[in-house]
Amino acid sequence: MASASVQTDSVVALAREYAEKLLLLSQGSVDKHFDPFTDIDWDNPDFAVDHNDPRWILPISGDMFARHPWYQAQSEARKIAIGLWRQANIAKVGLQFETLLIGGMVQHTFKLANGSPEFRYCTHEVIEECNHTLMFQEMVNRIGIDVPGMGPILKQLTYLVPPLASLFPNLFFMAVLSGEEPIDHVQKAILRAGDEVHPIMHGVMAIHIAEEARHISFAHEFLEHHVPQANELNKFVLSLAFPIVMWIGGRAIVIPPRTFFREFDIPRSVRKDVFFGQPEAKDAFAGFFGDVRSLAKRIGLMNPVAKQVWKVLGIDGPTTRYRSEPDRPGQVRAA
């Protein structure tokens, strides 16, 4: 009887701690939030999009493609044209990903019990993500290039991802991290490096990073709270699904659609080098998921079999010492 009482007290304490963390995140959304049409000065003359502006050249600090010798060998005008297309498409992919997230969040909140602390936070996040879609679409519109965003196959995720939130919420929030972590990693790398980028890009990234920190924190907290409550079989399946979801989501965010390569007559060998072949490219992609690997370890999803899946997919590596830790030179990838 005493053992059952202690176990109940422990469950109550964990639930209270989780609720307090979510209340803190919710209050953060109240205290510090943004409106893309108030907080970005779109009509400032310096925000005008000039297709000859060198600030659209892809930043080396945050774009694997920018570091390739093929891109570096192009004329300034061609670098700018490629940069405009790529940045517009990244914004469009971000918009499409946020739309999937919004659909899933709405599905998730629909079935939450009265009094659930997740309802308030998730609703705050949906509001912020709606503002992000407005912000990303305005950026695409200002650039003025009709980019597709995700490729045609990946666009079919719109029929798959939102229902996951109702049927398999742990899997859904893994999918959330698969898109949010790479975008956040790249944007922070650019701002930390101090590269000169166009003011529209800088404004969009600054707002996105500020609010995405809460969104990533919530996904981590959700999984830390719910995954340990799952049965052993469920946890084993999740441990195998985690790296697969990260790989699929990360590739969807990072790799441009084939129309990009056709538009600029980019050799297939360059595409392979940048996104699949070069050790530097593989390490950069694996580096997006350092925080996620730390999370998997904390919640018991980094078992020997799962480690091999991370390794086979090429996204294994060191865990981070703290969330959003910058890449450390000389890191050695490990199984």
Catalogue all structural domains in the chain, each as residue range(s) with its CATH number: 24-312 (1.10.620.20)
Which tens digits make up the pLDDT trace of 97-134? 999 999 999 999 999 999 999 999 999 999 999 999 99
CB-CB contact of 84 with 51 (8 Å): yes
State the angle between helix axes of 199-226 and 2-31 in degrees (0 to 180), rounded to the nearest 10: 170
CB-CB contact of 166 with 107 (8 Å): yes
Using CA atoms, how far residue 86 sits from 33, 89, 101, 122, in Å, is 28, 5, 22, 31
State residue 7's pLDDT score.
Answer: 59
**One-letter amino acid identity for 274?**
V
State residue 186's pLDDT score.
Answer: 86
Sign of CA dihedral 133, 136, 138, 141: negative
- Rounded mean pLDDT for each run of 10 residues along the chain, 335 residues in total: 59 91 96 92 93 94 89 97 96 93 95 95 97 97 95 80 90 95 89 86 92 95 96 97 95 91 94 84 89 96 97 89 56 38
